[in-house]
C-alpha cells in the first residue's frame, strides 16, 4: 500500500527562514573585523596541547600540527557566530516553545567554552585550558537546566522510535536522556574541532538537515534557528578553511554541539541524531576507545593518534583531504538520516 506525503510550503514562511539565514551570515561577516582586531591586539593565540588526556606527551600531535600553532593563530572566533545567532534570534525569531531553549543552552555552553579559551590563551603547556572534569560538570549543569525546562515547561515526556507506531513514554526520565544527548553532542563537536574547516563544515551540514526536518514538522522557529546557524557558520568557515585564519575555540564547539543536541530533542529525532551526526559519533568514539585501550591494555593504542581525523593524518593523508572526505561522509549520512526520518514514521 502506497502512502502519499503532501507538503504545503508557504512562500512567506520560507522567505522568512532564508532571511534569518542571510542575516546570520551578514552579521557574522560584519563582526569578523572587530574580532580579528581584538584577537591580534591582545594575542588570543591558540595554544597547542603538549600532553594527551591520559598524561603522555602528545608527540604525534606535535609532529602533525606543531608548526601550525607556531604561526600564532587566534582562537575564540566562536564568539562571532554565537553573537550573531543570538542577535538574529532575539530580534526576529524568539519563540518560547521553539527557540528559547536552544538559544539559552547555546549561550550558556558558549560562555563555559569562552572561559576555557581564556585559560587556553594564557597557558604555557600541558593540555591547555580548564580541566576536563570541570568542563564536563559545567556543561552537565547547563544541560540539566535545559532538561528540566524541556520536561516541565514544554511538557515533553516521550521520544519517537523510527518504524515504531507508538512513542516511548519516559516520564521524568526524559530529563537524564536530555542531559546525556546534549552533553554527548557538545563534547563530540568539541573533539571533532581539530582540523581547519572540519567542525564548521560538518555542523553546517547537520543543521541544514535539521532545518529541513523542523520545517517538515511545522516548527518554523526551530527551522529558522537552524538556518541562522548555517548562515553564521558559512561566514566563519570562509575564514576557517585551510589555512585557517582563526579557530572557533571551545566557545564555538560547545555552543554548537549543545544547540545541536537540543534541536534533536525538540524535533523528537534523538534516535536519528547518531545517523545525521555520524562523523561526530565516530570522532568521539575513537577518542573513547583510545583512552580505554591505553588504560586496559597497558598503554597499547588502537589508533596512531585520536581522534580519528588525526589518525588519518598520521597515515599520510593531507589535512584538506581528511576534511573534505569527512564532509562527504557527513553529507551522505545526513541524507540517510532524512530517509530514516521520512520513512520511519515521524513525518
Which pLDDT belongs to residue 52? 64
Task: Give the separation between CA 102 and CA 18, rounded to whole angstroms.
Answer: 19
Which pLDDT belongs to residue 72? 85
**Which domain covers residue 33, as residue numbers?**
11-271
In 3D space, the residue among 56, 111, 45 whose CA is nearest the CA of residue 83 turns out to be 111
The residue behind cell 585559560 is 119
Would you say residue 328 lies in a domain? no
Would you say residue 306 lies in a domain? no
Burial (0-12, 13-18, 19+ Cβ within 10 Å), 306: buried
Is residue 219 within 8 Å of 98, Cβ to Cβ? yes
Task: Give the separation between CA 114 and CA 109, rounded to whole angstroms.
Answer: 9
Task: Give the separation between CA 48 and CA 227, rounded to whole angstroms.
Answer: 32
Which pLDDT belongs to residue 1? 46
Would you say residue 147 lies in a domain? yes
Would you say residue 6 lies in a domain? no
| Chunked mean pLDDT (size 10), the chain, 347 residues | 65 95 98 96 82 64 66 92 98 97 98 94 68 94 98 97 94 98 98 96 98 96 98 97 94 98 98 98 96 88 92 94 98 98 83
**Structural domains in the chain (count):** 1
Would you say residue 53 lies in a domain? yes
Would you say residue 341 lies in a domain? no
DSSP string covering 57-97, please? Answer: B-HHHHHHHHHHHTT--B--THHHHHHHHHHHHHHH---TT
Which pLDDT belongs to residue 120? 85
pTM across the whole model:
0.94
Amino acid at each position: 500500500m502506497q502512502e502519499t506525503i503532501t507538503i504545503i510550503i508557504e512562500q512567506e514562511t520560507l522567505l522568512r527562514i532564508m532571511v534569518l539565514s542571510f542575516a546570520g551570515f551578514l552579521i557574522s561577516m560584519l563582526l569578523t573585523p572587530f574580532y580579528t582586531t581584538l584577537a591580534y591586539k591582545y594575542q588570543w593565540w591558540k595554544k597547542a596541547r603538549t600532553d594527551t588526556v591520559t598524561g603522555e606527551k602528545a608527540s604525534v600531535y606535535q609532529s602533525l600540527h606543531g608548526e601550525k600553532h607556531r604561526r600564532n593563530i587566534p582562537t575564540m572566533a566562536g564568539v562571532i557566530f554565537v553573537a550573531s545567532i543570538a542577535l538574529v534570534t532575539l530580534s526576529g525569531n524568539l519563540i518560547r516553545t521553539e527557540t528559547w531553549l536552544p538559544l539559552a543552552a547555546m549561550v550558556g555552553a558558549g560562555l563555559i567554552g569562552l572561559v576555557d579559551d581564556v585559560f587556553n590563551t594564557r597557558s604555557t603547556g600541558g593540555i591547555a585550558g580548564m580541566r576536563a572534569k570541570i568542563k564536563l560538570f559545567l556543561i552537565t549543569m547547563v544541560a540539566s537546566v535545559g532538561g528540566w525546562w524541556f520536561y516541565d515547561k514544554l511538557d515533553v515526556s516521550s521520544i519517537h522510535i523510527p518504524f515504531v507506531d507508538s512513542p516511548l513514554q519516559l516520564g521524568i526520565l526524559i530529563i537524564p536522556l536530555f542531559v546525556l544527548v546534549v552533553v554527548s553532542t557538545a563534547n563530540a563537536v568539541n573533539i571533532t574541532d581539530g582540523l581547519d574547516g572540519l567542525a564548521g563544515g560538518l555542523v553546517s551540514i547537520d543543521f541544514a538537515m535539521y532545518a529541513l526536518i523542523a520545517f517538515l514538522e511545522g516548527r518554523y522557529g526551530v527551522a529558522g534557528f537552524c538556518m541562522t546557524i548555517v548562515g553564521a557558520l558559512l561566514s566563519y568557515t570562509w575564514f576557517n578553511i585551510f589555512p585557517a585564519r582563526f579557530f572557533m575555540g571551545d566557545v564555538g564547539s560547545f555552543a554548537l554541539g549543545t544547540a545541536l543536541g537540543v534541536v534533536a530533542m525538540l524535533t523528537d529525532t534523538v534516535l536519528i541524531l547518531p545517523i545525521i551526526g555520524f562523523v561526530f559519533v565516530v570522532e568521539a568514539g575513537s577518542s573513547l576507545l583510545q583512552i580505554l585501550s591505553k588504560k586496559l591494555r597497558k598503554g597499547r593504542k588502537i589508533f596512531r593518534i585520536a581522534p580519528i581525523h588525526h589518525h588519518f593524518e598520521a597515515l599520510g593523508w593531507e589535512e584538506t583531504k581528511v576534511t573534505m572526505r569527512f564532509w562527504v561522509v557527513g553529507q551522505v549520512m545526513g541524507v540517510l538520516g532524512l530517509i530514516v526520518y521520512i520513512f520511519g514514521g515521524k513525518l
